Amino acid sequence: MSRLAALLAVALGFALWDAASFGLTDLDEGFYASVSAAMARSGDWITPRLYGEPWFEKPAGLYWLMAVSIKLLGASEAAARLPSILSFGLIAILLWAWGERRLSPGAGQFAALVFLSSPLVFVLGRLALTDMALVLFFLIGLISLWETAKNPFWCVPLGIATGAATLMKGPMALFLIGVLILASLPLLRSNGFQFRYAIAALLTAIATAAPWYFAVYAQHGGDFFNEFIVKQNLSRLAGGDKAHAPPNFLVGLPFYPVVLLLGMAPWADKLGALWRQPSNPVEQFLWRWALIVFALFTISGTKLPHYILPTTPALALLIGACLARNARFSSDVAVYGQLAMGLLWVFLSVGLAVFLQSPWIALLAALPYVRFAISRTATATVMLAIAGFGFHVGLTAYDARFLAAPRELARFVPPAAELGVFDVKPGLPSLDFYVSGRAVPCETLEEALALLNNGGYCLTKGRKPQIVAPLVREGGEYALYGPVQ
């Protein structure tokens, strides 16, 4: 347990450090943080709102978590990201505990290591997005599903977790778990599972999630149904989101294989050997989990890298089991970990030296070549720390170069004034978070001029000769105009 504590301390330490070291990224972090802050200010826990209008892109689950965090800690990037960071750590603990219990000694330890050090997880674990909280409840639900075969009581946490996942991301979570139950039914039945347990879990899931869905539908009726169910779920599944859809089905087929190969480096190469090895019932269940999620999102018309995140706990457990039982693979852990993270650190160090025009930073590239005469887990912990530090430096540089300018300009807007945002594509929803809900998107020049004439401010991308108003300040490629006197 001390080894897990060391790994978690390093991973969570850097995640918490990063939480406040760079501004909110747009669009998604800006959307979720602004909606959550508005919920915390208004006390309306039913209707998510952005710019004062109902916002039905996602259910309320993540907004609740973030709004509570903001109420307790104040409106900051760290408060907005805290639910994702805590979910990141809890997933690693669950992988460790359940892997040790149901797979083999050492499997849980390796699974936690694989999960914590996978680049896709490492990045998403510190962003204010829905995905990490969704994966936490998805993992709790599927662990409970397997345990239900041994003890019917587990159908209750299965249902609660499924309902919570549905509140994080929408009906897709319920659909995924339902498909997995049906696909695994023969395997589950051979271990004592009965179909009535699934019915009990479904009723519990409905009791968990339905109150919010009924409440928001009662307030908004068809507007909620058309925007959330039809547009954000059914249409996206069918490829209606053209901005994130491949040109055709065949072009999209290799998308998630590439995402997993890069997002779970250096561990993804173990999956081929895993496929060839005989597996026990738990591993068969994990394979079904990973393959069903992978297949459903592969045939989906809309594709984004983070959609595949629910496969990572299953893959981490499978890789952990493989590493634990195969001495040759186990001996490779330190080698692969040091090689991959070392190369990442080398490229990052040299790249930052050029990017920041500070040659001394390139000297840090030598750190991975220091030989650690300690255990594999300790070596992995050290390398995780090195990668975490490199990632932190990179995030800070990225923030200074690309994110900070509009955020800093927003500080010059007085507390009672509105901030219009004009001709900034695709948008800066994070500004609504930074000005406490006083941002106003201006679709036309006339709207921007009207706001300036009424005592407001306006942020634009570059100077606008057609805006006859005082230029308050410029920053990066943005300009801030003040009220017309």
pLDDT tens string 422-476:
999 888 999 999 999 999 999 999 999 999 999 999 999 999 989 989 999 999 8
Does residue 247 fall inside a structural domain? yes
Q: How does DSSP assign 357-369, residue by residue?
A: T-GGGGGGGGGGG
| Nearest Cα residue to 375 out of 321, 331, 309, 431 | 331
Virtual torsion, Cα 80, 86, 91, 93, nearest 10 deg: 170
What pLDDT sits at residue 161? 98
Share of the chain above pLDDT 90, in %: 52
pLDDT at 145 over 80: yes
| Nearest Cα residue to 430 out of 453, 402, 395 | 402
Does residue 7 fall inside a structural domain? no
* Domain shared by 375 and 256, yes or no: no
* Domain shared by 177 and 207, yes or no: yes
Residue 1 CB partners (closer than 8 Å, separation 6+): none
Last residue of a domain, one of 360, 385, 409: 409
* Domain shared by 122 and 44, yes or no: yes
Query: Binning pLDDT at 50, 70 and 90, where does residue 343 land?
Result: very low
Amino acid at 481: Y
Residue with tokens 């750590």: 89
* Domain shared by 428 and 386, yes or no: no
* Domain shared by 136 and 272, yes or no: yes
Does residue 6 fall inside a structural domain? no
DSSP classification of residue 375: -
Strands (E), 40-193: 49-50, 53-54
| Nearest Cα residue to 414 out of 478, 479, 472 | 472
* Domain shared by 207 and 345, yes or no: no
- When pLDDT is averaged across residues 80-106 and rounded to a whole number, the result is 93
| Nearest Cα residue to 287 out of 184, 217, 191 | 184
- The number of distinct structural domains making up the chain is 3
Last residue of a domain, one of 368, 383, 409: 409
Query: Binning pLDDT at 50, 70 and 90, where does residue 374 land?
Result: very low
* Domain shared by 381 and 296, yes or no: no
Does residue 8 fall inside a structural domain? no
Give yes or no for a contact between 270 and 319, defined as CB atoms under 8 angstroms apart.
yes
**CA dist., res. 133 & res. 178, Å (int):** 19
* Domain shared by 137 and 238, yes or no: yes
Helices 312-325 & 281-299 angle (0-180, nearest 10): 140
**CA dist., res. 302 & res. 236, Å (int):** 6
- Cα dihedral sign for 468, 472, 474, 475? negative
Does residue 4 fall inside a structural domain? no
- When pLDDT is averaged across residues 197-201 and rounded to a whole number, the result is 94
Last residue of a domain, one of 379, 409, 439: 409
Does residue 261 fall inside a structural domain? yes
370: phi > 0 → left, psi -120 to 50 → alpha, else beta; which? Answer: beta
What pLDDT sits at residue 472? 95
* Domain shared by 308 and 182, yes or no: yes
* Domain shared by 58 and 174, yes or no: yes
C-beta neighbour count of 203 within 10 angstroms = 12
* Domain shared by 322 and 298, yes or no: yes
Burial class (CB in 10 A: 0-12, 13-18, 19+), 445: middle
**CA dist., res. 206 & res. 162, Å (int):** 9
What pLDDT sits at residue 61? 96
Structure token pair of residue 22: 């760079």
DSSP classification of residue 374: S
Residue 81 CB partners (closer than 8 Å, separation 6+): 19, 126, 127, 128
pLDDT at 272 over 90: no
pTM as predicted:
0.87
Structure token pair of residue 227: 């925007």
Structure token pair of residue 481: 């105009």
Range of the domain at 339: 334-409
Does residue 250 fall inside a structural domain? yes
* Domain shared by 342 and 430, yes or no: no
Does residue 13 fall inside a structural domain? no
How are beta strands 49-50 and 53-54 bridged, if at all? antiparallel
